[in-house]
Amino acid sequence: MSLLDVTGLRVRSADGRDLVRDLSFTIGPGERLGLIGESGSGKSLTALAVTGLLPSGMTASGSVVLDTPETGPSEVVGAPERRLNGLRGRVVSVVFQEPLTALDPLMRVGRQLAEPIRRRRGLRGAALRAAVAAALQEVRITEPGRVARAYPHEISGGQRQRVAIAMALACEPALLIADEPTTALDVTVQAEVLALLGGLVTARGMALLFIGHDLAVVSGITDRVLVLKDGEAVESGTVREIVDAPRHPYTRSLVAGARHLDSALDWTNR
């Protein structure tokens, strides 16, 4: 059984350009797939098409099926917003590159995080406050009390991304999509947030679609990789296969250019 089954996905712009073409892949429960490609290759549009969040004017065709024992199979392409709302959060959740896109600037962090937890688990009052504190601790926020009372602009970029991860996990999704979740962070914070994300995905047995442009990063956190170029898949395989024997010239250039690849591969042997 596949949790996510994408078949012949195409994303077309308002002016009729095909930005993603004939893309097919599957992710099973608990599997980790990396989507890698240069800037503008269609990675984010793929993530948005999977969650039914394409910008207005853009259209998806083909098929995107999300299937969990709890919900049964659901076709995302062409689904009404009401159906999509039932899938977002508890079936699939996204962490975006820029944490501020996930956070309301005018609402204290604790209140924002409380909302999905309340909806999912029906908690109120002191129990809800305790669950919010636990969620902040789970993403290793060191001062959960202060952060819960802060507005998003009052905490650091790394803390904001940790909060965005906590928000994405609050509804206990079966599939987490992480779209370049560390690209906007300082290098020192990047490794911490990646390790946190990998640990949480393992601890919860979630499936992961991890999007990135750096093969060293993507290969460190995923098992299989799909290489995207100009909106099309050019190669896919296990991290080992891609790194040891890249076939497409673009993949070869990615492998040759991957910095710190050796250490990333050591990390893969978990």
Interface ranges with ligand ADP (CB under 6 A): 13, 19, 37, 39-45, 55
Distance CA 88, CA 50 (A): 10
CB nearer Mg ion, residue 138 or residue 180: 180
Q: Which of 41, 44, 68, 236 binds Mg ion (CB under 5 A)?
A: 44
CB nearer Mg ion, residue 44 or residue 159: 44
46 binds Mg ion (CB under 5 A): no
Give the Cβ contact number of residue 244 at 10 Å. 11
Residue 116 binding target from ligand ADP, Mg ion, none, CB below 5 to 8 Å by type: none
CB nearer ligand ADP, residue 46 or residue 68: 46
Stretch of 5-13, 42-50, 67-75, 82-90 lying at the interface with Mg ion (CB under 5 A): 42-50
CB nearer ligand ADP, residue 50 or residue 92: 50
Sort strands 59-68 and 4-12 into parallel, antiparallel or unpaired. antiparallel
Please count the residues of this chain forming the interface with Mg ion, following the rule CB under 5 A: 2
Helix axes of 125-138 and 157-169: crossing angle, nearest 10 degrees: 120
Strands (E), the chain: 4-12, 18-27, 32-36, 59-68, 72-75, 92-95, 175-179, 207-212, 224-229, 232-238
Both tokens assigned to 267: 């990390």
Give least dist CB 12 to ligand ADP, A: 10
Residue 169 binding target from Mg ion, ligand ADP, none, CB below 5 to 8 Å by type: none
Phi and psi dihedrals of 142, rounded to 5?
-75, -30
Residue 229 binding target from ligand ADP, Mg ion, none, CB below 5 to 8 Å by type: none
Distance CA 121, CA 119 (A): 6
CB nearer ligand ADP, residue 49 or residue 132: 49
Which positions touch Mg ion (CB under 5 A)? 43-44
